[in-house]
Amino acid sequence: MEKTLKPIEYGEAVLLWDEEEKKTYLFILQKNASFCSHRGKISHDEIAGKLEGSLIFSSTKAPFRVFRPLVWDQMMKVERKTQIVYPKDAGWLALALDLKPGMKVIEIGTGSGAFTILLAQLVGKEGKVYTFDRRKDFLENALKNIKRAGLLDRVVASQLEAREDFPVKNVDAVFLDLPEPWIAVKPAWEALLPGRPLASILPTCQQLQQMVKSLKENKFGVIKVIELLERKILVREKEGVRPFERMVGFTGYLISARKLI
Amino acid sequence: MEKTLKPIEYGEAVLLWDEEEKKTYLFILQKNASFCSHRGKISHDEIAGKLEGSLIFSSTKAPFRVFRPLVWDQMMKVERKTQIVYPKDAGWLALALDLKPGMKVIEIGTGSGAFTILLAQLVGKEGKVYTFDRRKDFLENALKNIKRAGLLDRVVASQLEAREDFPVKNVDAVFLDLPEPWIAVKPAWEALLPGRPLASILPTCQQLQQMVKSLKENKFGVIKVIELLERKILVREKEGVRPFERMVGFTGYLISARKLI
Amino acid sequence: MEKTLKPIEYGEAVLLWDEEEKKTYLFILQKNASFCSHRGKISHDEIAGKLEGSLIFSSTKAPFRVFRPLVWDQMMKVERKTQIVYPKDAGWLALALDLKPGMKVIEIGTGSGAFTILLAQLVGKEGKVYTFDRRKDFLENALKNIKRAGLLDRVVASQLEAREDFPVKNVDAVFLDLPEPWIAVKPAWEALLPGRPLASILPTCQQLQQMVKSLKENKFGVIKVIELLERKILVREKEGVRPFERMVGFTGYLISARKLI
Amino acid sequence: MEKTLKPIEYGEAVLLWDEEEKKTYLFILQKNASFCSHRGKISHDEIAGKLEGSLIFSSTKAPFRVFRPLVWDQMMKVERKTQIVYPKDAGWLALALDLKPGMKVIEIGTGSGAFTILLAQLVGKEGKVYTFDRRKDFLENALKNIKRAGLLDRVVASQLEAREDFPVKNVDAVFLDLPEPWIAVKPAWEALLPGRPLASILPTCQQLQQMVKSLKENKFGVIKVIELLERKILVREKEGVRPFERMVGFTGYLISARKLI
């Protein structure tokens, strides 16, 4: 990983962190370009050649730090055409899918490609993510997002109706992110290696019921259904510690299961 | 990954799932050995040669399924000498650490090795996990757990006082799991590559305050502090869907930050 | 309220608080009787004549405090034949029902009478609680609990099938606590004064859907549906503050609405 | 309670509910006045004489319902000069304070008077709420809010520094809502009847620690500390049931205790 000692170069994705307002900005570093916000202007050329963590001041003397984006920055900053899988859920789902470097995984419902980015990072260069969506415009947008994250080499994206047979077999894991995931349970079973996991995210209780029914009928076991609530905590030196006053109240129910034979 | 099409062999870790009671058991498959529970007896020899997901009946006709353990099974089933990092937190922490195959990561506070197992899976064969604990007995137990998970090849474990300099440098991520993580913040900064992440888990509000103070004083930025609540959901065909009546109320506060230069 | 300056007398309900184990015990004070636990024995005669908050030692020198029970002690310590409404939910439901001294309220589903006790306290001596259950054994047990709480004078309890017309009209509030509350929505509308509130507690998402449908079809408006999670917090001088490790994960969904005309 | 069969009159508080947008508006009904919103205009004279729950159309044909406000509407719609106690917390605190018609209660920290309104409703006409604030402007605003709720007859409001002795003694309950409630613990003990409850709401973990310490040192027992999370649930006929996407993440920690002697 000597790469991270290397300075940031043109063509790379950059995460700019406003040290005072605690906001971040993600963009591709380009010659002669400029970053502009209400906090002033920064020339891309000033960022080029810097190490991660370096301090840079905007035209209004506002302090910024330059970084390469982490995987969750890449996920949160995708150009969104759809709802995305948030990091709090993505972490659990990644564990549920038990991904290792070199594995092959199918994703049905590419959406904006946020979770695809995580899958691609986890399987590594030797692995492969086969991602499918029924909408061509979603796939095109997702591929841009995945490309910006530098992970295009291990992602294969194509159009597919979820109800159809998956064109790839013997995969290590399947992730379903679509409104009616139960229609894809049977093809998921066909595509999975024995015993390997399927995971999904679902918005309502009624869908959970239908999905669990479908999993049981289609030879899946070890079914787990959970929900995660993330509370951001405010830590201040003088005033003390407490949760933030606003929070995301709900993103989805998470489900995992393993293929029986 | 042709391995997963291969039948389960002697010497491998096996996860036995009681299909009716929804309980799981983890052990190493051995010749002439037997698995015994209040639900009857199963000979290891009957499991050997089976594919994952296969059905097996115990001596009392109770149905079981055989699997290789997933990474979260390996984590939850470690021999515990300490509190462990639970999957709900581990998923978020893994994202925070932004691990990719081939990376090097330091863990201070090996404990029972549950999180070490996840780190080792994420960095893959090309990567390396340097894990340290001040207690030799913890390290010995953790190494047994890591070995059972088949990940010993990429883990280096040694004794260390957290306050000391870390003997490894230029690492991609640092995880701190000890009662006073602030004493390890300065050595963590020294060991990390520029801009790379540190993460930690902490039990009380007061410790959060001290840790955030230490991070700010020792040139860390992009500090995030959260807590995750996991609700298990009961999904029944007739009676409908609702959360379970009991839940884990608290495991720890999670914190992440990035090295500034 | 000079009564509370009066010492505790025979015939009154007593709450004994084990100061070290933080446990409480509720019983009626009787001549010559004794309280016994694993922490020793206390004669009722020693309690008689004491003011609330007094210190008493058991036969094993364990320190106890004597109190009259508060309303939530009365609720939690009912002899249970059914699931009860817990204080966390009872507080919200009481607000939803907007009870004032002197009001009349109907409760369908007396159960063990825990919530009846709160209703009776809120409407006061001038008010009236009409509580109904289809099961005679539940009513008998509930009346014992209500009597022990000293609130029998303002409670009228009778057997009723929820589907039937309620025998009381022009009431200020209706509370429904039964498995299929939607069957009682129409009779509730008939019994309520214009604009006045109905509240209910329900265990599953599917029941919520049916109940909300029924409320809309039967001329109820301003419908609110919520759930409350209670976290107990551990506060220690040295080790600091954090939530407890175990918690009640779910008790029920709460619903409120107002009668339209 | 025949009053509720009586039509709404001039001078009363009215709650207008926008049936389509699910929003509510609170105001005093006045001759020749008009209610105006982006959904059109309604003459107060049209509302006068209506029964609660009646349907009224605005000038733009938007459907509204007229009600008298419930106690939680009165609380949420106070003119705010301060943070208020929200209904979810108010219900629990009311139970903790164990209020009955006719009781006397002290509130330190009147703020905007939201919780004072609930206290006043619970103690009834025979009871009394003594509420104190150090700021005269807060008291004046609170009294306007309490007056609008029609509860002025049972509330006595005066200026007081929390550290001082309370001018009322032998009260049934004390509620502390101020930044440093520990300074009022000793005077609270002096004012309370033996065994009776004190409750408070606090924003940070560090304050909890200090408050619990103070309670223990000043002869309070049966200390409880909790936090309530309220999730609003979205119930739709076709799409199914799920929590709302946004929620209030934190309002305060709740604490209760009883006076020892």
So what's the ipTM on this one? 0.95
Chains that touch C (3 or more CB pairs under 8 A): A, B, D
CA-based nearest distance D238→chain C, Å: 9
pLDDT score for A4: 53
CATH number for the domain harbouring residue B33: 3.10.330.20
Residue of B nearest to D204 (CA): B205
Cβ–Cβ below 8 Å for C197 and D118: no
One domain, residues C10 and C59 = yes
Work out whether the CA dihedral D63, D68, D71, D77 comes out positive or negative. positive
Q: Count CB pairs under 8 A between chains B and C.
A: 62
One domain, residues B79 and B43 = no
**Is residue C6 pLDDT above 50, yes or no?**
yes
Coil/strand/helix, residue C209: helix
Cβ–Cβ below 8 Å for A67 and B95: no
β-sheet bridge partners, residue A203 = none
Residues of C in contact with B203 (CB under 8 A): 240, 242
Residue type, B75: M
**Is residue C238 pLDDT above 90, yes or no?**
no
Across B79-108, b (16+ Cβ under 10 Å) vs e yields: eebbebbbbbbbbbbbbbbbbbbbbbbbbb
> What ranges make up the beta strands (E) of B208-249?
220-236, 240-243, 246-248
Q: How confident is the model at residue B1 (pLDDT cuts 50, 70, 90)?
A: very low
Q: Distance between CA atoms of A55 and B186, rounded to whole angstroms?
A: 19
CA-based nearest distance C91→chain D, Å: 4
Cβ–Cβ below 8 Å for C102 and D70: no
Q: How confident is the model at residue C110 (pLDDT cuts 50, 70, 90)?
A: very high
pLDDT score for A10: 96
- Provide the 8-state DSSP code for C81: S
- Structural domain contains residue D209: yes
pLDDT score for B4: 53
Residues of D in contact with C209 (CB under 8 A): 235-237, 240-241
Q: For the segment B141-179, what is each residue's pLDDT rounded down to a tens digit?
A: 999 999 999 999 999 999 998 888 999 999 999 999 999
pLDDT score for A43: 97
- Structural domain contains residue D127: yes
CA-based nearest distance D160→chain C, Å: 25
One domain, residues B65 and B138 = no
One domain, residues D44 and D82 = no
Strand pairing category for D173-176 and D104-108: parallel
One domain, residues B168 and B39 = no
**Is residue B43 pLDDT above 70, yes or no?**
yes
Residues of A in contact with B70 (CB under 8 A): 95-96, 98, 197, 258
Residues of D in contact with B204 (CB under 8 A): 205
**Is residue C237 pLDDT above 90, yes or no?**
no
Q: For the segment C240-255, what is each residue's pLDDT rounded down to a tens digit?
A: 999 999 999 999 999 9
Q: Count CB pairs under 8 A between chains A and D.
A: 62
One domain, residues B124 and B220 = yes
Residues of B in contact with A55 (CB under 8 A): 260
pLDDT score for B149: 95
CATH number for the domain harbouring residue B192: 3.40.50.150
CA-based nearest distance D105→chain A, Å: 29
Residues 6+ apart with CB under 8 A from D244: A249, A250, D231, D232, D233, D234
Cβ–Cβ below 8 Å for B5 and A194: yes
**Is residue B248 pLDDT above 80, yes or no?**
yes
Per-residue pLDDT of chain D in tens (261 residues, 90 and over written 9): 444 588 999 999 999 999 999 999 999 999 999 999 999 999 999 999 999 999 999 999 999 999 999 999 999 999 999 999 999 999 999 999 999 999 999 999 999 999 999 999 999 999 999 999 999 999 999 999 999 999 999 999 999 988 889 999 999 999 999 999 999 999 999 999 999 999 999 999 999 999 999 999 999 999 999 999 999 999 998 889 999 999 999 999 999 999 999
Per-residue pLDDT of chain A in tens (261 residues, 90 and over written 9): 444 588 999 999 999 999 999 999 999 999 999 999 999 999 999 999 999 999 999 999 999 999 999 999 999 999 999 999 999 999 999 999 999 999 999 999 999 999 999 999 999 999 999 999 999 999 999 999 999 999 999 999 999 988 889 999 999 999 999 999 999 999 999 999 999 999 999 999 999 999 999 999 999 999 999 999 999 999 998 889 999 999 999 999 999 999 999
CA-based nearest distance C146→chain D, Å: 16
Last residue of a domain, one of A69, A89, A106: A69
Across A177-195, b (16+ Cβ under 10 Å) vs e yields: bbeebbbbbebbbebbbbb
Q: Give the C-side interface with B, CB within 8 Å.
A: 203-207, 231-232, 239-251
Cβ–Cβ below 8 Å for D241 and C70: no
- Structural domain contains residue D43: yes
One domain, residues A235 and A109 = yes
> Which domain covers residue C151, as residue numbers?
72-259
One domain, residues C147 and C190 = yes
Q: For the segment C142-196, what is each residue's pLDDT rounded down to a tens digit?
A: 999 999 999 999 999 999 988 889 999 999 999 999 999 999 999 999 999 999 9
Last residue of a domain, one of D26, D41, D69: D69
Q: State the Cα torsion A161-A167-A170-A174 to the nearest 10°.
A: -20
Both tokens assigned to B121: 């899976």
Q: State how many domains chain C has.
A: 2
One domain, residues A56 and A109 = no
Last residue of a domain, one of C69, C96, C116: C69
For residues B133 and B159, the answer to whether their CB atoms sit within 8 Å is: yes
CA-based nearest distance B137→chain A, Å: 28
**Is residue C230 pLDDT above 90, yes or no?**
yes
Mean pLDDT of C90-98: 97
